[in-house]
Amino acid sequence: MLFQSYEFLFFFPTVFILFWVLNKGSLSARNLFLLGASYFFYGYWDYRFLALILASSFVDYTVGLLLYKSVQQNRRKWLLFFSIAFNLGVLGYCKYLNFFIENFAGMLSSIGIVQDISTLSIILPVGISFYTFQTMSYTIDVYRKSINAEKNIITFLTFVSFFPQLVAGPIERASNLLHQFNRKSKFNMDLGADGLRQILYGLFKKIVIADNCAVYANQAFADYHELSSPYIILGAVFFAFQIYGDFSGYSDIARGVAKLLGFDLMKNFNFPYFSKSIGEFWHRWHISLSTWFRDYVYIPLGGSRGKRSVTVRNVFIIFVVSGFWHGANWTFIVWGVVHALLFVPSIFREKKDKISPIEVSLSSRVLDFGKILYTFSLVCITWVFFRADSIEHSLSYLAGIFHLEHIPYNGYYLKFVPVLGLFIIWEWFNRHTEYGFGVLPKHKMVRWCLYICVICIIIYFRREDNAFIYFQF
Amino acid sequence: MKKFVTSVIAFSLLLVAYYGVNIMVNSHLNSKQVKVGDSKIIAVGDSHIMTAVDPQFSMDLINIAQSSEPYLASYLKIKKILESQSEVETVVLGLGYHNLSGYYDQKLLTNESTAIFDNNIQLLGTYELSNQSYDFERYVNSFLKNQCIYPQLKKRYLGAYKATRSDLAKADLSQTVKKHFYEEEQIHDFSDTFNLFYLGQIVNLCSDYNINLVLAKTPTTKKYMSQVPIVYRGKLQAVVANFKKKGVYTFALEIEDKEVYFKDHSHLSAQGAQVFTPKLLDYIARLK
């Protein structure tokens, strides 16, 4: 079920009312209801894949309990290994098997052994990368003894399948979310209103920004050979905002929905396109995934504690794995490698790339804007690899930037440029707020009129082909 | 919680009130828009009729054709007009080879036709909606967009005559032929879902109201004609023969292949319309 569908418009108010009614009574009944609602939400797309979530949840629930009871280190290691192997095995089969088959066949044919190996027809279950990583983080945390194992199976199943963040994150940690299922939610008027606002802003980003940018971006990536340089660059910029609006919009809706149920999900985006360096960008973009890789891959590998060469190696590993997490295509791996290459210089700098405020003096401000523009340009270049169908496609697209011959273009969607410009300005003035919809009129009626305006804009710009990009990951 | 729910309900009521007012205003405007005054002859169809029938030749004539208009929309417009007034005696409906093509159905059923669909979907009654395989979500989206946001002051449902200059020299014939009759290098299937079905519905409607229906084929260049697939020529003959049995009149005119008469290979220019319209009116006058 999509957040922006009419089905969800009926689904969520029903869940909201029943949830708060049940919240007054037994916690188990409330969680059982939430579990049922989450499975309905997921199964609405294809109920058969519920079996995969159930299998993954049962394995990690059991392993969690065994890890908690077990004192033998060797046995604990084996249990952890089993859980990771199972989760990655399912993920690998559903998501990466065909990629490996194709590349294996390609390798054999390149050395003269012609192989006609057919691939399998496997449907990628929506959100598998997200909930797999979530359950894995639980098992690893129990193994590390940083959290206790969850004994109540309903609570654990609800934690894994909690519908607001089930199919596209944020990838939650048990340490943040699991305990919230073990206490009664308390409704807070301000938090509820904030949740609704965040949902509205998320819908705006998805429907108005992402879906409309997608039209031009798709056109540009398909017909780039018929476009001159400025339009090719614009295509990459539109894609940058498509993916930002799409994914951060989803995260906002997820967090807003969770807030209305009294849950707090982690922040996933923090105005990433206002970053002044690639390092800062990764502190602001898909925070739940980058911190996942930091905590469960980068730090166990040694992080930045050892020699610089080891740090560089670790950085490359997490970026390549992160790229591969996004999809079974070399383009994602190259996207990861390019980001690693852009990130590595920061390792050799004294001053680390962390989120820093814009400087106050005029010269510093100008310099900061320059840095933001430079970083955004680099990010747009990397998005070309992410969006393209193949490496050849991405390289041809990038080569098109130097196609200086003027070809007139009268595409209707250039009219969307001012809308995008206004969105960037809006985000800039709201960059210190939690999600971009914070600087609001004080008077209630004026605020409500603003919300009605936003709803009208959403309806006006709504398009039909509108699934979230990150569902495919 | 009580305060929150009260606030949400109050906001929802405000939203509904805002939309409700717009819906009422738009319904009023729409009902006013689908009216053609005292006209006795209405010309309906797509851009081919829109550019070919010039109403300055008769006080009784009005051209309400719209670019890319499918017969579904023509049917709904004619129905509304006939239901609301009795002055109309003759309906002139454009019928060219391209109107038989599945290309028109595709335009309605796929996303590329959003603008055309949006312009016409609000005319759909519940009967048409339930009787056809329309995407309900699409209908709701379109309804919310067109009826709820602000008053639609522009006449959306009635088209008008459009005088065009000759641009034949620049016209891309192969592109036009490809668009009308071909799909991925193959000859396009005939319309089987909407266009031909609603052409039949228009015939029945005019018959029910005892109105003369003239199926008018507007002139095209010889080059265009030579590229129309043979199956389409046969199909048009068969369709026309079938409707003639039901008392439908047909009017086709070939005019001299002069550049000034054509906007492009399949549309008349203003000068071409000045040749076509009087002949059409003569033909209609003889029907009486």
- Residue B185 sits in a domain whose CATH number is 3.40.50.1110
B149 and A459: CB-CB below 8 Å? Answer: yes
Q: How many structural domains is chain B composed of? A: 1
CB contacts of A462 in chain B (<8 Å) are 141, 145
pLDDT for the residue numbered A460: 87
Q: Are strands B41-44 and B90-94 parallel, antiparallel or unpaired?
A: parallel
Rounded Cα distance, B282 and B260, in Å: 23
A189 and B4: CB-CB below 8 Å? Answer: yes
CB contacts of A13 in chain B (<8 Å) are none
Q: Is A187 helix (H, G, I), strand (E, B) or coil?
A: coil
CB atoms within 10 A of CB B159: 24
Q: How near does any CA of chain B get to the CA of A239, in Å? A: 21
pLDDT for the residue numbered A303: 81
- How far is Cα of residue B52 from the mean position of the Cα atoms in its chain? 14
Whether residue B127 is contained in a domain is answered as no
Rounded Cα distance, A136 and A144, in Å: 12
pLDDT under 50 in chain B at which residues?
A: 114, 126-127, 129-130
Peptide bond into A170 cis (omega under 30): yes
- The b/e string for B24-47 (b: 16+ C-beta within 10 A; e otherwise) is eebeeebeebbebeebbbbbbbbb
Q: Kindly give, in sequence order, each residue whose CB lies less than 8 Å from that of residue A171, ignoring residues fewer than 6 positions away.
A: A130, A133, A134, A137, A165, A288, A289, A292
Rounded Cα distance, A183 and B186, in Å: 64
Residue linked to tokens 């579990």: A35
Rounded Cα distance, B198 and A408, in Å: 40
Burial class (CB in 10 A: 0-12, 13-18, 19+), A267: middle
Walk along chain A (473 residues) and give the pLDDT tens digit of each residue.
888 888 899 999 999 999 999 999 889 999 999 999 999 999 988 888 898 899 999 999 999 999 988 888 899 999 999 999 999 998 888 877 777 787 777 777 777 776 666 666 666 677 888 899 999 999 999 999 999 999 999 999 999 999 999 888 799 999 999 999 999 989 989 999 999 999 999 999 999 999 999 988 988 888 888 888 888 899 999 999 999 999 999 999 999 999 999 999 999 999 999 999 999 999 999 999 999 999 999 999 888 887 888 899 999 999 999 998 888 889 999 999 999 999 988 888 766 656 666 666 777 888 889 999 999 999 999 999 999 989 999 999 999 888 777 666 666 667 788 999 999 999 999 999 999 887 788 898 999 999 999 999 999 888 766 666 655 65
Candidates A179, A283, A286, A326; catalytic one: A326
Nearest chain B alpha carbon to A454: B149
Q: How near does any CA of chain A get to the CA of B52, in Å? A: 28
Rounded Cα distance, A369 and A366, in Å: 5
Whether residue B226 is contained in a domain is answered as yes
Asked whether the beta carbons of B20 and B28 are under 8 A apart, the reply is no
- How far lies A184's CA from each of A20, A30, A161, B5, in Å? 10, 9, 18, 19
Rounded Cα distance, B281 and A434, in Å: 69
Across-strand partners of B216?
B94, B251
DSSP state of B96: -
Rounded Cα distance, A41 and A253, in Å: 15
Across-strand partners of B94?
B216
Rounded Cα distance, A202 and A249, in Å: 4
B114 and A464: CB-CB below 8 Å? Answer: yes
Query: Which of A448, A451, A459 faces B148 most closely, judged by CB atoms?
Result: A459
A187 and B14: CB-CB below 8 Å? Answer: no
Whether residue B170 is contained in a domain is answered as yes
Q: How near does any CA of chain B get to the CA of A125, in Å? A: 25
Interface test with B, best of A19, A197, A455, A466 (most B CBs within 10 A): A455
How many alpha carbons fall within 13 Å on the CB side of residue B209? 22
CB contacts of A464 in chain B (<8 Å) are 111, 114, 137-138, 141
| Domains of chain A by residue range | 6-185, 190-276+372-472, 288-355
B4 and A193: CB-CB below 8 Å? Answer: yes
Q: Kindly give, in sequence order, each residue whose CB lies less than 8 Å from that of residue A367, ignoring residues fewer than 6 positions away.
A: A359
pLDDT for the residue numbered A352: 60
Query: Which of A20, A189, A464 faces B111 most closely, judged by CB atoms?
Result: A464
Q: Summarize pLDDT for B185-242 with one digit per residue, the tens.
A: 788 888 876 788 889 999 999 999 999 999 999 999 999 999 999 999 999 999 999 9
> How many H helices and E strands in chain B?
12, 7
Query: Which of A187, A452, A455 faces B1 most closely, judged by CB atoms?
Result: A187
Rounded Cα distance, B22 and A174, in Å: 48
- How far is Cα of residue A417 from the mean position of the Cα atoms in its chain? 25
CB contacts of B111 in chain A (<8 Å) are 463-465
Whether residue B11 is contained in a domain is answered as no
Q: Summarize pLDDT for A427-467 with one digit per residue, the tens.
A: 999 999 999 887 788 898 999 999 999 999 999 888 766 66
Interface test with A, best of B4, B15, B23, B145 (most A CBs within 10 A): B4
Candidates A197, B38, A83; CA nearest to A75 is: A83
- How far lies A168's CA from each of A143, A343, A432, B63, in Å? 26, 25, 25, 53
Whether residue B260 is contained in a domain is answered as yes
Asked whether the beta carbons of A220 and A185 are under 8 A apart, the reply is no
Nearest chain A alpha carbon to B113: A464
Across-strand partners of B190?
B101
Rounded Cα distance, B103 and B100, in Å: 8
Residue A326 among the catalytic residues: yes
Q: Summarize pLDDT for A220-240 with one digit per residue, the tens.
A: 888 888 888 888 899 999 999
Q: How near does any CA of chain A get to the CA of B231, in Å? A: 33
The H or E element that residue A96 is part of is: none
In terms of residue numbers, what domain contains B90? 39-113+155-287
How many alpha carbons fall within 13 Å on the CB side of residue A346? 19
Q: Are strands B186-187 and B182-183 parallel, antiparallel or unpaired?
A: antiparallel
Q: Are strands B212-217 and B90-94 parallel, antiparallel or unpaired?
A: parallel
Measure the CA angle with vertex B223, ends B220 and B229; round to 5°.
Answer: 85
Asked whether the beta carbons of B50 and B74 are under 8 A apart, the reply is no
A459 and B14: CB-CB below 8 Å? Answer: no
Type of residue numbered A181: F
CB contacts of A191 in chain B (<8 Å) are none
pLDDT for the residue numbered B127: 43
Tokens of A377: 């340009």
Asked whether the beta carbons of A288 and A171 are under 8 A apart, the reply is yes
Nearest chain A alpha carbon to B146: A460
Whether residue B26 is contained in a domain is answered as no
Rounded Cα distance, A434 and B268, in Å: 59
